[in-house]
Amino acid sequence: MPPGIPTAGSMSTTMELIGKQLGRYSLVEHIATGGMAEIFLAQQESLGKFKKELVLKVLQTRWEEYPEVVDMFLEEARISALMHHPNIVEVFDVAAESGRHYIAMEYIAGRTLADLAKRAIQVTKSISIEVGAYIAAEMASALAYMYDGDGGMGQPLRVIHRDVSPTNILISTTGQVKLIDFGIARQGNITPESRARPGKFTYMSPEQVKNAPLDGRSDVFCLGTILYEITLGRRLWRGTREAAMKRIVEERPRPPTFVRRDYPADLELIVLRALEKKPDDRYQSAVELHRELQGFLARSNAHLRSHFHMADYVAKIFSAEAEALISDAGRRRAQEFVDNAEGLESEPADLDFDAELAAGPGAALARALRASALGVWAETGPRQGEQASEAKAEEAKAEVGSAPTPAKKAAPEKAADKVAADREVEKPAGAAPKPAAAVPPVKAAAAALAKPVSIKLAALDEPSDRLPRRWTPILIAAIALLVGVGVLWWLRGQ
């Protein structure tokens, strides 16, 4: 940047522009403030009651006097205008009016991926696996077009975004996934001499951190970071700017199955390959990554197959029913995710979605409520530990049902068996079993609350065939002591 950079205090008040006309566009509402520009919702009117909403990106007045900044702004418009892809925001116009430069672009009603990830962490701990893979596949399609597509010009575009991050990915209300903000994008492979301005430091590739030459594989690494984070609900490169950059270059990411044991193994391979430190070890193009993600979605029989399903997921995760499921712990986790807090590292049990998964009425009720609110998007299926406990419960029920009555027993029953027998509901002899009926999720949870506790009580009386873990070190020490005494005795005899 040139010396004497103007401060934010010299920026004209954005509210003064509301209701004003800028070229052919009327500014309706201020949406956001960026590093160099203000974002407005605008409206264009024309003949025959024509009216269209769009977005105007207006360069801040403090930068208008710096030609190099204006050139960067115009370069963003030029690169954006080259691309026409369903997963990339459309740019319609660039102009200057009364000394104010602006870019007119497509208005996308929706939410950023950052907002969606935060909400999903609050409600269900993370974006669901198939939704995360779908979003990544859509972004891989955009990156593939940007770098390897020809845009109808007969040669590859070779555009490198350099700022692929959750805040620059929008999910529209109709379920379309769009890449936005080409403010620091460049066309052609970038060398260190070009003084590449990096993007957000937690979403940079190792070569960006080292200011090494860049190509399309740099954006592939950034997308791998996003896929890791949104499907696990935790940040990957945590810490301060310096600490995060050091981790990006030197630290290998923890495999997703170390964080979430039910994470799909084939998706884990995709994520880890995208996150390889050396570009030559990664996917050599976003085309390859897109193909792998599409294959994963097909093999997993994912429910999400189109942007209509994506729109349904977004609507449900932001519904009033989902709002009622948010706990204080969920809000805390989501805020730590947004803040990129180091505290996440010290809570492995909270991050492990399989650890201590409640096999009990409380967990069943929580899952049923999520299923009621989110429908197919609630990952409420029983996990491995819960399936085992349910199998044991069924076996115990069968044993109780086939046991002789108390009057005919030769030996007195154990206390736990009596509790189990008392809690069993008597069925009339010869009664035909009723056909299974569909039970609403909330009613199923209520039924779970009434499950007999006799199985747990009976388990307390069963002898264990394993030595308690707390005795293991004592036993080892005792054996070592005996061996030592024996050796000393033998030496003394010699």
Catalytic residues: 163
Q: Is the dihedral of CA 55, 56, 57, 60 positive or negative?
A: negative
Task: Kindly compute the dihedral angle of the four CA atoms of residues 93, 96, 97, 100, in this order, to the nearest 10 degrees.
Answer: 120
C-alpha to C-alpha distance for 30 and 473, rounded to whole angstroms: 66
Task: Tally helices (H) and strands (E) across the chain.
Answer: 19, 11
Beta-sheet strand order (sheet of 50-59): 21-22, 25-33, 37-46, 50-59, 100-106, 91-97
Work out whether strand 169-172 and strand 110-112 pair parallel, antiparallel, or are unpaired: antiparallel
Distances (CA, A) of 119 to 108, 133, 318, 330, 364: 19, 17, 7, 9, 22
By C-alpha distance, which of 129, 29, 4 is closest to 379? 129
39, amino acid identity: I
The tokens of 245 are what? Answer: 């950059």
C-alpha to C-alpha distance for 107 and 177, rounded to whole angstroms: 13
Contact 183, 76 (CB under 8 A): yes
C-alpha to C-alpha distance for 337 and 335, rounded to whole angstroms: 5
167 alpha carbon, distance to own chain's centre: 13
Q: What is the 3-state secondary structure (H, E, C) of 425-437?
A: CCCCCCCCCCCCC
Backbone angles phi, psi at 104, to 5 degrees: -100, 130
Q: At what angle do helices 113-124 and 361-374 cross, to 10 degrees?
A: 150
Q: Which residues contact 44 (CB under 8 A, 6 or more apart)?
A: 24, 25, 26, 50, 51, 52, 54, 104
Does residue 485 sit in helix, strand or coil? Answer: helix
